[in-house]
Amino acid sequence: MNLDLTLRTEIQKAVETLFNQAVEQIQLQPTNAEFEGSHTLVCFPITKISKKSPEETARLIGGYLTLNSGMVSHFNVVKGFLNLVISDAIWVQNFASIFTNPSFGTTPPTGKEIMVEYSSPNTNKPLHLGHLRNNFLGYSVAGIYKALGYTVHKVQIINDRGIHICKSMAAWKLFGNGETPQSSGMKGDKLVGKYYVEFDKNYKTQVKELEEKGTSREDAEKEAPIMKLAVHMLQQWEQKDPAILQLWNKMNSWVYDGFDVTYKRMGVDFDKLYYESTTYLLGKDEVLRGLEQGVFFKKEDGSIWVDLTSDGLDQKVLLRSDGTSVYMTQDIGTAILRFRDFPKIEGQVYTVGNEQEYHFKVLFLILGKLGYEWAKKCYHLSYGMVDLPTGKMKSREGTVVDADDLMDEMVDEAEKQTRELGKIEGSTDEEIKQLSEMIGLGALKFFLLKVDPKKRMMFDPNESIQLQGHTGPFIQYAHARIKAILRKAKEMGIHPDTDSLQEVKSLEPEEREVIFKINQYTIKLQEAGREFSPAIIANYAYELAKEYNQFYQVIPIFSEGDQAKLKFRIAFSQVTASTIKKAMNLLGIEVPDKM
């Protein structure tokens, strides 16, 4: 039984019977906590049909539902809002349908496909805190769409070419003395990142020296020897110079090995990888095709541009005067290649920070001008930056919060707190390690995902790991508590069944609240899909855990004498735990059975 759908049908029937006209849209929302009821009908739009005041319209609909629907026990009206109190029999019936449905919360395959891109790092530095938010967002959106019945293709574009890569290569060639991950004992991505920072340090020094000799700032930035070397390396790479390609392959392989270790610990994966070093070629071909067709234009220096002034934007370079490509070039090629590889996808979601909003506006416009209708199916999942109490991160200066280091710190803190609470007595070191990993990474993921993606956020490691409050560990602990209740019930031989559920005639307010929350799971899942927002699922999981905790504090379980009610409360706990687990799994978070 889909309670919300059934209630909407009954409301439509009431409106048609009372006012002799069908209502197209029903505005139903959760009742404000200060009023009695669970569902509130907004009656203002219906006054066009009823020709009565909002209050009178609400009273008439409420009276009809109470007498005729069998769903509503009573109601109250606040201005034009009709607050409905659903009968306990309906709540029990609704819960029984969820309890007996093993696939509750999942949609059968729809035949639809979607592509979600996330991570997409540069191969000149290790992953940092910003990448964590990116990966967790993209992976969670992919999980949400899978639960909605889509075939999901998880992809990333590896930004493995360009001037940023050549900066690390130039610094390694000048100062590396043949250093490797093996000789240094460093992860490959960290070693390459070290030379990216080294480049910036030397570059600033050289620019300053040139300025002191009277060179202008603009010329000094171009003429600094280390920058000239990096630019020359980029030109050699595009000309396929064997020595440069060999160095490029070697350093990139170090980074990939390092990334793989980090991704595995993050708990994210990909179905297909795309590399900028190959997709930019298709992009260049498309730019030249666009030039021939008059979509783009060439400037006197030989560079190729697109004019978007008629679209309210400006002109954008697509190929430099020396023939080298820009980010936009490879993004054009990547988008085209993906739709060729997966022609059935309903859309392509780009999980990229909001500083790139203009870039994607331009990209989608260009693809449309090139004649690709599917450009309308591209969506930029824009998200805000992550700040720390210590301030903004800067990659070039080496002040970023390294993803590996942060995960280590979170897990260490989780183990420390768990040991202090004394809840792991009798556990082996391996079990403690697994639990700490689960809690530490769960805390990190939940904190980064609970905020609306569009918002800039402050990450507070200390706050995120707390067992109390709006945190992942709070939800994990609630799940572990319920699993302990279920183990005790099993030991006592209490096995809930459908027949015993039907014997329950009345519910406590706390029970209704939890059933209402459970019932909202599929609604929240659909909303999260529409909004591309795992925050909706994260906050839902928190609210469900909080409501169950309230029930647990107020309502006795094992001291209940009525066997039907006892079995109901065990079934009720079982479904709550299952729903919490499903919701948290959509966020890529595991929940422990013991904690």
User: For 44-66, what is each residue's pLDDT tens digit?
Assistant: 999 999 999 999 999 999 999 99
CATH number of the domain that 500 lies in? 1.10.730.10
- The total of structural domains in the chain comes to 3
Query: Of 17, 51, 86, which one is at a domain's C-terminal end?
Result: 86
- CATH code, domain with 25: 3.30.1360.70
Nearest Cα residue to 35 out of 77, 86, 66, 70: 77
Same structural domain, 126 and 21 = no
Rounded to two decimals, the pTM is 0.91
| Residue 383 falls inside a structural domain | yes
C-beta atoms surrounding 185 within 10 Å: 8
Query: 179 and 254 in one domain?
Result: yes
Within a domain: residue 591?
A: no
SS3 22: coil
Where does 58-122 show beta strands of DSSP type E?
72-78, 81-86, 113-117
What is the domain extent for residue 558? 403-586
- List the CATH number of the domain containing 126: 3.40.50.620
> Do the domain assignments include residue 239?
yes
Residue 120 sits at φ, ψ, to 5 deg, of 45, 60
- Sign of the torsion angle spanned by Cα atoms 416, 418, 419, 420: positive
Measure the CA–CA gap between 57 and 293, rounded to whole angstroms. 61
Residues across the chain: 595
pLDDT in tens, the chain (595 residues): 789 999 999 999 999 999 999 998 899 999 998 999 999 999 999 999 999 999 999 999 999 999 999 999 999 999 999 999 999 999 999 999 999 998 898 899 999 999 999 998 989 989 999 999 999 999 999 999 999 999 999 999 999 988 899 999 999 999 999 999 999 999 999 999 999 999 999 999 999 999 999 999 999 999 999 999 999 999 999 899 999 999 999 999 999 999 999 999 999 999 999 999 999 999 999 999 999 999 999 999 999 999 999 999 999 999 999 888 888 999 999 999 999 999 999 999 999 999 999 999 999 999 999 999 999 999 999 999 998 776 544 444 445 789 999 999 999 999 998 888 776 777 888 999 999 999 999 999 999 999 999 999 999 988 999 999 999 999 999 999 999 999 999 999 999 988 889 899 899 999 999 999 999 999 999 999 999 999 999 999 999 999 999 999 999 899 998 999 999 999 999 999 999 999 999 999 999 999 8
Residues 134 and 255 in one domain: yes
What digits encode the pLDDT tens for the residues 364-421? 999 999 999 999 999 999 999 998 776 544 444 445 789 999 999 999 999 998 888 7
**Which of 342, 325, 341, 237 shows the shortest CA–CA distance to 283?**
325
Q: Is residue 393 part of a domain?
A: no
Collapsing DSSP to helix, strand or coil, 64 comes out as: helix
364 and 421 housed in the same domain: no
Contact, 172 vs 195, CB < 8 A? yes
Q: Which residues contact 166 (CB under 8 A, 6 or more apart)?
A: 230, 231, 233, 234, 237
